[in-house]
Amino acid sequence: MRDCSRLSRRAVLGLTAAALPLTAAVPASATTVVGGERLARGGVQVRGAGGLPKKLTARAWLVADGESGEVLASFNAHRRLAPASTLKMLFADTLLGKFPPTERYRVTDADLADVPLGSSLVGIKPGLTYTVDQLWQGVFLRSGNDAVHVLAHMNGGIDKTVAEMQARADDLQALDTHVVSPDGFDHKGQISSAYDLTLFARHGLKNDDFRRYCGTRTADFPAGGKKTFQIQNTDRLLTGAWGLHTYDGLIGVKNGYTSHAGNTFTGAATRGGRTLLVTVMHPATGSNAVYEQTAALLDWGFGQGRSAQAVGVLATPLSEGGANASPAPAHKAARAAAGAPGAASGGRPSTWRLLEGAAGTAALLGAGAWALRRRFRTAPAAEAAGEAAGESQGRERGERASRDTDESVAETAEPGGRHRR
């Protein structure tokens, strides 16, 4: 039985790998790695400028010009890592504008039933009515998974929203991203990269509402009746919380933290008419490290980085005339193995979704298994599979106990502006 189970899993994955070129809609002639070949390399990529900050402990980071899209410097730009709540930028890219800000919605128990245990919450209560504007404040300021799930249910449900988010990521050419849930919570297979998160931020900042929400420091949130309580943005470079100074010229954008993913942050700032985007993922230690390293990279970009020559570029969305590109070679096998968007609970790919559209194509099954065996004989594929396995270690255990707080200490908003820590 165990051998048969192994064979079944290999057959399904083989079918997925064989079908991927068809479902990904990437033409055979597309050989350019998205963003440029240099970004597919590991290690620091910079040209024509020195003076990069010395104490950068993040597993991946990227600095880009917000206007031109030129990547000025990067480190492991396409490394696939858990995004935590920075994935909410893609959620906003996908759903903002679908509902008028003044539209009112009465929340039900069902809207909140699938919010993962341990989630960051803004404090939405069933039975209360909220405007869409207030729900988006909950998403951006408090990174509230409860607000995300309410908006997702307004949009037709979690599965529909996840599918739309994946389609949006593909259009933006964020090919490292695999969406499992709309809130960024730790689920097996939910991954992105510094490159992709920067794409989400750049696209989002073109939207006036996105820009306004991510730059809002505080807001009054309904508590029932005529009562409200104040919520504060968890972006410490924006508010100066937790012993940090506010960053001069900061626009936003979004931070994230879970106990398994660590800290992630994408920040944007404007100085002297120039806008820079910086993404930092998973610094080694310290809850402030992600902000400190973002600030250091922004300082570099506004200073010595002015002389930097581009090592890559942020891709233009396909819907805006962008040219098709391919995922970084080291991640092709991992992307195939990640499965279909909207994976089953716990992040396991749904077998029926993997087989969807494959009825009557038994020949692909044998071809897929052969391709899988051949792929695993090659070193690049072995490295990609090993990296994907390494990134998911620890997230499979105790997933429901994961803390998704956007802070090193859990904070849940309560009426009156108090917080439980």
Phi and psi of 270, rounded to 5°?
A: -125, 130
Q: Say which residues have a Cβ less than 8 Å from residue 91's Cβ, sequence separation at least 6.
A: 139, 148, 151, 161, 165, 182, 183, 184
Active site amino acids? 85, 88, 143
pLDDT at residue 287, rounded to an integer: 84
pLDDT at residue 330, rounded to an integer: 56
pLDDT at residue 355, rounded to an integer: 33
pLDDT at residue 363, rounded to an integer: 38
pLDDT at residue 285, rounded to an integer: 82
pLDDT at residue 272, rounded to an integer: 92
Residues of the chain with pLDDT under 70: 1-31, 329-421
DSSP 15-60: HHHHHHHHHTT--TT--SBTT-GGGGSSSEEE-S-----S----SE
Distance CA 157, CA 42 (A): 38
pTM: 0.76
